[in-house]
Structures are given as structure tokens and as C-alpha cells.
């Protein structure tokens, strides 16, 4: 019996993600990983903010403390400054405590108009999603990093657009990001949240991937010229 001269066709069970040229947007596995990390990260950020602010502001003496501060500093003291002066905190582990704070600006408290920050965040999220879509379907590490960055950006964007932090007798604090993780006892003076941590971790993962890819490319060039 004569055999065919043609190469056998690829198995239907073979995943398209095995193809190094396959884009992530065409890979169900890549999309699932991205969405899973994004959803988990976003849920963790928003839930942790809600928990910290709800628990630490559940103080029956809070109205009296707010009034005392207003009497001391005057009624013109902005609500976010009142919150800072209240020093609402709780020790969690050695070196780390929860301290309630809000941030109207960006990283390290740098001031910036909130509409500009919100617009820049939306553009950044769109760019990250495009970067994910055109990346290799097998770049799992990169997909997880991009999902963390997206979760961090969306978590803080939600605060700016939706959340109002209310102190008794004061106007709500609007368009601020809720911060509560305080590591000042170990030398880090800025209060932050999980979304901020996601952004730092995601960028660090991308840098590590870039360094690894550069090392592999250099090794391949060296092997080719050997």
C-alpha cells in the first residue's frame, strides 16, 4: 500500500498556544490567566481598602475627636487633613500597621489634578491591554505582570471615580485614593495600598523578564558565533 508523501497534519488536540507565533488574544488559556489574576487582584485591593477603613473608623468617639480637631485647627481644615490628624491606626505585625490616609495625587503623594490622573490611567490600562493582546500566547509571566498592573491601575481609578470617604460632620473626601498600609516603623514613610503594590510588583516582573530575555538573546548570539 502506497504511503502519502505529504507531512502528517497537526493533531486537532494540539493547542494553538503551543505555536510561538500565536497571539495571546487568540489563546483561551492566556486570556483566562490574565482575567483571573486581574479579577483576584482587583477584588483583593478593593476588599482590603473597604475592610481597613470600615474597621478603623468604627469608633464611637470619632465624632467627638473630629469636633475637637476642628475646634483646635479651625473649621477650614480640609477633611483629608482631619483624617490624617486623627491617626487612626492598628498594629498588624511587627513593623507594619494599618493607618488610614487618602491621596489626591499619584505616587509618593505627588499632587496632580484628579481628572488628568483618571484620564492617564484609562489610557495606560488600554495600552497594557493592547500589549497583552499582541504578546506571545506562551508568555505567562508577562501576562501575570500585565494583569497585576491593570488591577492596580483599576483599583486606584475606582477610588478616584466612585469612592467617598466620610468623616462625621464633614464633607466627603472625593477623588482620593484610599491608603492604609503603613511601614514607617521599618523606614518606609509613605502609606500605600495593595493596588500600589501590584503596580510595583508588575513592573518589577516585566523588568526581570526583559533582563532574562536579553541574557538569552546574548547567549544565543554567542553560541551562533562560536
The ranges of the chain with pLDDT < 50 are 1-15, 17
Cell numbers that stand for 37 in this block = 489574576
Classify residue 12 by its DSSP letter. T
Q: Which residue has the cell 493596588?
A: 195
Place of cell 492604609: 180
> What are the domain boundaries of the chain?
25-60+77-217
Question: What is the model's pLDDT at position 106?
Answer: 76
Residues in contact with 179: Cβ distance below 8 Å, sequence separation at least 6, in sequence order: 100, 101, 102, 103, 191, 192, 193, 196
pLDDT digit string, tens, across residues 153-182: 999 999 999 999 999 999 999 999 999 999
pLDDT tens sequence across 72-97: 988 889 999 999 999 999 999 999 99
Q: What pTM, to 2 d.p., does this model score?
A: 0.87
Q: 16, 27 in Cβ contact below 8 A?
A: yes
| Residues belonging to the active site | 179, 196
CB 205 within 8 A of CB 141: yes
pLDDT at 7: 44
Amino acid at each position: 500500500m502506497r504511503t502519502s508523501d505529504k507531512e502528517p497534519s497537526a493533531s486537532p488536540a494540539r493547542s494553538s498556544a503551543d505555536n510561538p507565533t500565536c497571539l495571546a488574544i487568540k489563546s483561551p488559556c492566556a486570556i483566562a490567566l490574565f482575567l483571573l489574576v486581574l479579577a483576584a487582584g482587583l477584588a483583593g485591593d478593593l476588599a482590603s481598602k473597604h475592610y481597613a477603613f470600615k474597621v478603623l473608623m468604627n469608633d464611637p468617639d470619632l465624632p467627638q475627636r473630629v469636633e475637637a480637631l476642628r475646634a483646635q485647627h479651625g473649621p477650614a481644615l480640609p477633611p483629608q487633613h482631619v483624617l490624617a490628624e486623627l491617626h487612626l491606626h492598628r498594629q498588624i505585625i511587627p513593623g507594619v500597621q494599618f493607618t488610614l490616609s487618602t491621596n489626591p495625587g499619584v505616587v509618593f503623594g505627588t499632587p496632580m489634578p484628579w481628572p488628568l490622573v483618571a484620564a492617564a490611567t484609562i489610557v495606560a490600562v488600554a495600552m497594557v491591554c493592547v500589549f497583552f493582546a499582541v504578546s506571545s500566547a506562551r508568555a505567562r509571566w508577562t501576562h501575570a505582570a500585565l494583569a497585576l498592573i491593570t488591577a492596580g491601575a483599576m483599583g486606584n481609578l475606582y477610588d478616584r471615580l466612585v469612592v467617598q470617604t466620610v468623616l462625621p460632620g464633614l464633607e466627603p473626601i472625593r477623588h482620593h485614593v484610599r491608603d492604609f498600609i503603613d511601614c514607617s516603623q521599618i523606614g518606609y514613610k509613605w502609606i500605600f495600598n495593595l493596588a500600589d503594590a501590584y503596580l510595583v510588583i508588575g513592573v518589577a516582573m516585566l523588568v526581570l523578564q526583559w533582563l532574562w530575555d536579553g541574557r538569552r538573546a546574548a547567549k544565543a548570539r554567542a553560541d551562533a558565533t562560536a
